[in-house]
Amino acid sequence: MAKPVVYVTRKIPDAGLKILRQRLTVKHWDSEDAIPRDELLKNVAGVDGILCTISDKIDKELLEAAGSNLKAISTMSVGETHIDKQECDRRLVHVANAPEVASDSAAEFTVALVLLTARRLLEGMEAVVSGEWGPWRPMWIVGFEMVDRTLGIFGFGRVGFGVARRLRPFNVGKIIYHDLFRAGYADQVDAKLVTFDTLLNESDILCICCNVTAQTVHAFDKEAFSKMKAGSILVNTARGTVINQDDLAEALDAGIPHAAALDVTEPEPLPLDHPLMVHPRCIISPHMGTATMDTRINMAVAAAKNLDVMLLGMPDSGENWL
């Protein structure tokens, strides 16, 4: 029987390709850069499966271009907002993401942004380079410590929990979270479920770690910012759409929240002249929350296994493989 054909839309770690090549015929866009849309539409014609990344829009047009052989889409990401899942369902195309393997790097990076922002590290480093660094001054670029602060987490899944677990030993005073569900593991870090308003009112450090859903899109808007605490910092490593960015720029101008760190924006990249890009109390990183070599390899392996299993079922070699 001919092997199913899959299309990989980007250069991915070899470990993932090696898995795919065991039982599948692999066609590949072997480049660090995203495949141009017209090439993608051409190259997926007739394939059985696609391994994609968050920058490939998997919509009706693409599914049509792939044609009726297509049975599975595996994304090398946690997020799935680039995939029209309804359209996939309608065509009986299976979809899988790779959520487990990226949580540690995302949580670690969120903590890095929290510390960077609370301790104003970038300002200090910029002052060194610009020659502003003079004799030691006690009140120059003072930030705040985690000790006794209230850490708030919006979306208490793997990443939110990971942030709480990592910051607990910094002796934060209290951990509160808002989610649709009470998370059983919240007890492990002594985190308390609160309403959205309480999260906004009480958090000194507010980390956005949620999925994108109808409830979370633009959850952080003018009204939400008006309820945040003076001196608080806001960190978003989830998705840009959770924040209304124009409202955030205005809120930062008005002083609450005091500062923000965003690893995700809408769109990405954010135009250089966007008010948040030039705001002195907003740090923006280029969507690198899961960018570690370990995680990239694990994501490629997970995405490759997902695609293989969706197309062919579990291999005979069985349990040791997954």
Residues found near ligand O=CC(=O)O in the complex (CB under 6 A): 54, 77-79, 102, 290
The Cα–Cα gap between 5 and 23 comes to 10
Q: Check: CB of residue 113 under 8 Å from CB of residue 237.
A: yes
Nearer residue to ligand O=CC(=O)O within complex by CB, 77 or 150: 77
> Which residues are part of the catalytic machinery?
287
Nearer residue to ligand O=CC(=O)O within complex by CB, 232 or 236: 236
Among 208, 196, 199, CA closest to 175:
199
103-118 vs 293-312: helix crossing angle, rounded to 10: 150
> Which phi and psi angles does 13 have, rounded to 5°?
-55, 145
130: helix, strand or coil: helix
Nearer residue to ligand O=CC(=O)O within complex by CB, 4 or 155: 155
Per DSSP, 267 falls in state: S
Nearer residue to ligand O=CC(=O)O within complex by CB, 12 or 251: 12
DSSP run (H or E) holding 128: helix 121-130
Please report how close the Cβ of residue 240 comes to ligand O=CC(=O)O at its closest, in angstroms. Answer: 10
Residues linked to residue 284 through DSSP beta bridges, in sequence order: 262
Among 43, 19, 48, CA closest to 29:
43
Please report how close the Cβ of residue 300 comes to ligand O=CC(=O)O at its closest, in angstroms. Answer: 12
Please report how close the Cβ of residue 282 comes to ligand O=CC(=O)O at its closest, in angstroms. Answer: 19
